[in-house]
Every structure is written in structure tokens, then in C-alpha cells.
């Protein structure tokens, strides 16, 4: 009898979570549960898996809290995402924590002049390295959907501190071939025996590691720092524009 009441209570609590929002206690519990159950694969900020940003609030396979809970509890067949040993109540608490991260990072659209931000992006030479839709270069990361992949604070940090955090897929490498040619570019693919990169002239080049004299990751990002080069309003408008880029 008690177990039946407990099960009913848990189901009612989960439903209430989805319908009425989350309390600070739910968020704190979710943070602790996330650290134990999720951070090993997804990282402390939820962005360790390429193309997946759990703290941003946008999810490719789920649009509701219940769908997120189902993914956590059941896993995703055919992917590295396993089912987690969580109750529905605990999974909802993790969702509460993820939602809180997204809410804390949502910029006020009324405070950002997106047109001015776009003008700054183009006038400061960002298109010389980056691409947005069909404009710009492929030397740097494509930013067409950067707003769906990174949080506002992360975008701002990348603008003012180029080396604060470089995602694995955005690292630059320098290779020296056996005949002494030096090529620098952004790495696209790497395995035990080969690597492919896009060089500074937007050429796609491929190498067998056995044919290289030297191969190293660059310690510093080629991204220039705009610290002290933008006013506070300019930085806010630029970040606001980039956050608005959600892709398709």
C-alpha cells in the first residue's frame, strides 16, 4: 500500500514539475545529480560533446521537459547516450538545472541592437575568417548557428579572451612535411594515421602522419582579442547579434 502511494506521489511530483516550474531546491538537487550522472561525458558546462550544448536550452531530439526526461531515463538507441539510473523525479531535477542555466544566459533582446551588432561583425573583419550563411570565409568556425551552440557568456568570453576556451573541433595545427613545407590550418578530422585540415587559403588538405616531419597543435588561437577594442554597448550588440544566429 505504501509503495503504491509513493509511486503515485512520484508521478504526481513529476507532472507538477513539468507544469508548474522548478524551485531553487529542485535546481540545486539537479546540479548535484548532473555532476554525478552527466558531467563525465558532457562536461561540467554541458558542452564537452561536439554539437551538443546542454546548458543552452535548445535540444535536437527534445522540445519538452518530459521528452528530455525520457532521453535521460531510456537513453538513445544507436548512440553513445546510455540510459541513466535515475527516477523520473531526479531526471526532472536535472532538467530544472539545465533550464536554469539557459534562463540565466538568455540575453534581453531589447537591450541589443542586432543591426548594429551585424554591422560591427562585418566591419571588424570577422568575415575574413568566419562564415555566416553564404558569406565569409571557412578558415575559422562557421557561425551560422553559433547562437544555438554557445551561451552568450561563452561567446563574449571568446571575443575578449581568445584562448579562454577553444573547442576541440576548432583547434589549429601546424604541420611540417618531409620536404620542409609548413602548413597551418584548422583541423577537421584526425585519426591514428592521418589528418585533414583547412588551411589559411581555405584549401582542404590531407596528410598521412607518417609523411610529416612535425605535427603540433597551436597553443594560441589565431582569433584576435577584442578586449579594450569595443565599448560595452558595442560588445553587447555584437554578442546579441551572434546569439541571434540560430541556423536553420
pLDDT tens-place string over residues 68-101: 999 999 999 888 899 999 999 999 999 988 888 7
pLDDT tens-place string over residues 174-205: 999 999 999 999 999 999 999 999 999 999 99
The CATH number assigned to the domain with range 109-166+223-243 reads: 1.10.760.10
- Given CA atoms 26, 27, 28, 30 in this order, what sign does their dihedral have? positive
Q: Which CATH architecture has domain 168-217?
A: Roll (2.30)
pLDDT at residue 106, as a whole number: 52
pLDDT at residue 5, as a whole number: 39
65, 122 Cβ separation under 8 angstroms: no
225, 161 Cβ separation under 8 angstroms: yes
Q: Tell me: domain 2-104, CATH 1.10.1040.10, correct?
A: no
Cα–Cα distances (Å) from 68 to 32, 54, 64, 102, 161, in that order, read 18, 10, 6, 14, 33
E runs forming strands in 77-134: 131-132
Ranges for all domains in the chain classified under CATH 1.10.760.10: 2-104, 109-166+223-243
Question: How many degrees, rounded to 5, is the angle at CA 197 between CA 248 and CA 79?
Answer: 55
Ranges for all domains in the chain classified under CATH 2.30.30.100: 168-217
CA-nearest of 56, 75, 69, 112 to 247 is 56
Q: Taking residues 108-120, what's their average pLDDT?
A: 83
Q: Taking residues 211-237, what's their average pLDDT?
A: 91
pLDDT at residue 246, as a whole number: 86
Say whether pLDDT at 146 is over 50: yes
Q: Which letter does DSSP use for residue 201 in this model?
A: T
Amino acid at each position: 500500500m505504501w509503495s503504491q502511494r509513493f509511486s503515485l506521489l512520484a508521478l504526481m511530483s513529476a507532472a507538477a514539475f513539468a507544469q508548474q516550474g522548478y524551485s531553487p531546491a529542485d535546481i540545486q538537487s539537479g546540479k548535484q545529480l548532473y555532476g554525478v550522472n552527466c558531467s563525465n561525458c558532457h562536461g561540467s558546462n554541458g558542452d564537452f560533446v561536439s554539437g551538443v550544448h546542454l546548458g543552452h536550452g535548445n535540444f535536437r531530439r527534445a522540445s519538452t521537459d518530459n521528452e528530455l526526461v525520457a532521453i535521460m531515463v531510456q537513453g538513445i538507441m544507436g548512440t553513445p547516450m546510455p540510459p541513466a539510473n535515475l527516477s523520473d523525479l531526479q531526471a526532472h531535477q536535472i532538467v530544472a538545472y539545465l533550464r536554469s542555466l539557459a534562463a540565466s544566459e538568455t540575453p534581453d533582446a531589447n537591450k541589443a541592437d542586432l543591426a548594429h551588432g551585424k554591422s560591427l561583425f562585418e566591419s571588424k573583419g570577422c568575415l575574413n575568417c568566419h562564415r555566416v550563411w553564404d558569406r565569409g570565409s571557412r578558415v575559422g568556425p562557421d557561425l551560422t548557428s553559433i547562437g544555438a551552440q554557445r551561451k552568450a557568456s561563452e561567446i563574449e568570453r571568446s571575443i575578449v579572451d581568445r584562448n579562454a576556451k577553444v573547442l576541440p573541433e576548432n583547434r589549429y595545427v601546424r604541420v611540417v612535411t618531409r620536404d620542409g613545407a609548413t602548413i597551418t590550418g584548422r583541423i577537421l578530422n584526425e585519426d591514428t594515421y592521418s589528418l585533414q585540415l583547412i588551411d589559411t587559403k581555405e584549401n582542404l588538405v590531407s596528410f598521412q602522419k607518417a609523411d610529416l616531419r612535425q605535427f603540433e597543435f597551436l597553443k594560441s588561437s589565431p582569433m584576435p582579442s577584442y578586449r579594450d577594442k569595443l565599448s560595452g554597448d558595442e560588445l553587447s550588440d555584437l554578442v546579441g547579434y551572434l546569439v541571434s544566429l540560430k541556423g536553420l
